[in-house]
Amino acid sequence: MATSEGSARIQFKALRGFPAIGDASDKLETQAFLAASKEIVTVIESFGKLFTPVISDMNGNINKLTKAYGADVLKYQYLEDLIVLNVNVDDFAANALLWLKRGLQLICTFFENIYNDAQAKEALKQHLQDAYERTLKPYHGFIVQSTIKIIYSWVPTRSQLLGQGDAQAENIEVLTTFLPRMRAHLDSIDALLKAHNLDDARKV
């Protein structure tokens, strides 16, 4: 018997998500991007209190970008303008966007792994580990990597995050459109930062 959707910690249908992008040349609206990023933080919050350092880091970068955007909401209506107009002036916003993008890439890759898992395995540690190694690990020193390894060992199960039965099926169905839109935003931001030599590869 299917469980109620309340058994799922995450209900993707309740999230507005990242807006669709017409084509690669479309600019990303700053406000919509920040709103969608905040929603991703609520998703991570459902992982449990051990993930507080990840949540705090992402919130910190969202707040920095929100502050930069708030300085002139018309001038910085688009994320590209917020970054490009400040190149060689102040890398405050660019650095915040760089690290926020990496955190979002981690979560996007994690849920892509879950979505593409034909066996629908309950244990998600391997999916998160793979996502970390492909996104954030190259930019983390040994101490940070060791800390992250402990945190990620406590990721909830598939059923805990997405529910069971109809609830899980619904979440997976929503991810069919949610994840490609999120990935499109991240690829666009990645290209923007690289085009302006802002993709700092130094480790922390």
Q: What is the pLDDT of residues 74-126, one digit of tens each?
A: 999 999 999 999 887 778 899 999 999 999 999 999 999 999 999 999 999 99
Give the Cα separation of 110 and 113 in Å (integer): 5
Q: What percentage of the chain exceeds 70 in pLDDT?
A: 96
Give the Cα separation of 198 and 22 in Å (integer): 25
**Per-residue model confidence (pLDDT) at position 88:** 74
Residues composing the chain? 204
* pLDDT confidence band for 187 (50 / 70 / 90): very high
CB atoms within 10 A of CB 38: 13
Domain boundaries, the chain: 26-195
Residue 134 phi, psi (nearest 5): -90, -10
| Contact assessment for residue 130 and residue 107, using Cβ atoms and an 8 Å cutoff | no
Superfamily per CATH, domain 26-195? Glycolipid transfer protein (1.10.3520.10)
- Is pTM, for the whole model, over 0.85? yes
Instruction: Give the CA count within 13 Å in the CB-facing half-sphere of 71.
Output: 13
